């Protein structure tokens, strides 16, 4: 029988590649512990597999961003998005209200890209997707804008925890087109939301119960569009580094026409969520 502890223990890995068509990588990934002042963001020129094991009583934050190639400066936008998200979440995650913290982090990322574009640092209209996962004892908190995705393998079943903010997904939700038509639809790459595209950004947030054994995948569309759900759920039974390498290889073997990024996070020990303050203590906490 597994003993439940207050501390969280996770194993994670990330990998990002150009693909066979793109001459540079506009995806970024990164992670940070909430009880640390340092963060890891994979540099643009680095494509080696990065992996780690960590324990934390506060939690960890993971982020993946995919810069929009059509506007120029996509790699700058994605890097700013990940850096701002990790930095803000680290500095403001101690209060425990992670949905609010993540909204603020995404707004900080949005402002960083917007300001950089106005200042001439990167493309004038540069934008990015951004998906973030904060794992704390007993809970998983997500925030999302764009068409990168967060999956979870939970008790053997695969869940998609994010909704694509794309024109083709809106058409699907309205039953205007079929899933078969969506595969090659001309609007499949057109986003309805992005980070840095406007002065404000709408962010999807949610919180889920966390169990030991849960495994998450954060990935860009260059990965998920080239693999199947059954391949993802099978890959997430493997150690995180092996899962990332396997899924990226599948994407490359099937054309690799876009940057492909995968970050896998396996929860060894979910820990235990602290009891919420009650009554007057809750009002003034």
Task: Write down the domain spans for the chain.
Answer: 8-274
How high is the pLDDT of residue 43? 73
Mean pLDDT, residues 106-135 taken together: 93
pLDDT at 282 over 80: no
Placement of tokens 């569309």 in the chain: 221
Higher pLDDT, 147 or 69: 147
Lowest mean pLDDT among 13-17, 167-171, 244-248, 269-273: 167-171
Q: Which residue has the higher pLDDT, 273 or 208?
A: 208
Express each pLDDT in 74-117 by its tens digit.
999 999 999 999 999 999 987 668 999 999 999 999 999 999 98
User: What pLDDT sits at residue 142?
Assistant: 97
Q: Which of 80, 96, 79, 81 is nearest to 134 (CA)?
A: 96
Q: Is the model more confident about 279 or about 194?
A: 194
pLDDT-above-90 percentage for the chain: 62
Which pLDDT tens digit goes with each residue over 27-38?
999 999 998 888
What is the pLDDT of the chain when averaged over all its residues? 86
Distance between CA atoms of 264 and 187, rounded to whole angstroms? 29
pLDDT band at residue 235 using 50, 70 and 90 as cut-offs: very high
Give 261 or 186, the one with higher predicted confidence.
Answer: 261
- Per the CB < 8 A criterion, the answer to whether 166 and 191 are in contact is yes
Q: Report how far residue 12's alpha carbon sits from residue 14's, in angstroms, rounded to the nearest whole number.
A: 7
Stretch among 52-56, 124-128, 166-170, 207-211 having the lowest mean pLDDT: 166-170
Q: How confident is the model at residue 257 (pLDDT cuts 50, 70, 90)?
A: confident
Q: What is the pLDDT of residue 184?
A: 62
Angle at 141 between CA 11 and CA 218, to 5 degrees: 55
- Give the pLDDT of residue 120: 85
Mean pLDDT value of segment 274-280:
53
Strands 204-209, 139-145: pairing is: antiparallel
Q: Average the pLDDT over 181-209 and give the result.
A: 82
Confidence of residue 155 (pLDDT cuts 50, 70, 90): very high
In this predicted structure, the answer to whether residue 181 has a pLDDT above a threshold of 80 is no
Q: Does the domain spanning 8-274 belong to CATH 3.60.40.10?
A: yes
């Amino acid at each position: 029988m597994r003993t439940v502890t207050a501390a969280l223990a996770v194993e994670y890995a990330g990998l990002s590649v150009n693909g066979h068509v793109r001459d540079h990588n506009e995806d970024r990934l990164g992670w940070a512990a909430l009880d640390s002042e340092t963060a890891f963001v994979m540099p643009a020129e680095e494509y080696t597999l990065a992996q780690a094991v960590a324990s934390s009583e506060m939690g960890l934050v993971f982020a993946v961003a995919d810069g929009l190639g059509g506007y120029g400066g996509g790699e700058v936008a994605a890097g700013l998005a990940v850096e701002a998200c990790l930095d803000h979440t680290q500095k403001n995650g101690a209060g425990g209200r992670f949905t609010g913290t993540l909204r603020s982090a995404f707004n900080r990322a949005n402002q960083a890209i917007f300001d950089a574009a106005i200042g001439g640092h990167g493309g004038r209209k540069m934008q990015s997707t951004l998906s973030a996962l904060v794992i704390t004892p007993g809970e998983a908190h997500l925030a999302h804008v764009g068409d990168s995705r967060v999956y979870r393998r939970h008790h053997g079943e695969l869940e998609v925890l994010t909704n694509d903010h794309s024109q083709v997904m809106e058409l699907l939700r309205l039953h205007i087109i079929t899933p078969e038509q969506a595969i090659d639809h001309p609007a499949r790459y057109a986003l309805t939301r992005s980070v840095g595209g406007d002065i404000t950004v709408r962010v999807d947030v949610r919180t889920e119960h966390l169990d030991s054994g849960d495994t998450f995948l954060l990935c860009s569309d260059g990965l998920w569009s080239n693999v199947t759900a059954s391949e993802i759920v099978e890959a997430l039974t493997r150690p995180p580094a092996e899962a990332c390498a396997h899924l990226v290889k599948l994407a490359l073997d099937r054309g690799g026409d876009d940057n492909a990024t995968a970050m896998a996070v396996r929860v060894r020990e979910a820990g235990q969520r602290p009891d919420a303050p009650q009554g007057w203590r809750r009002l003034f906490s």
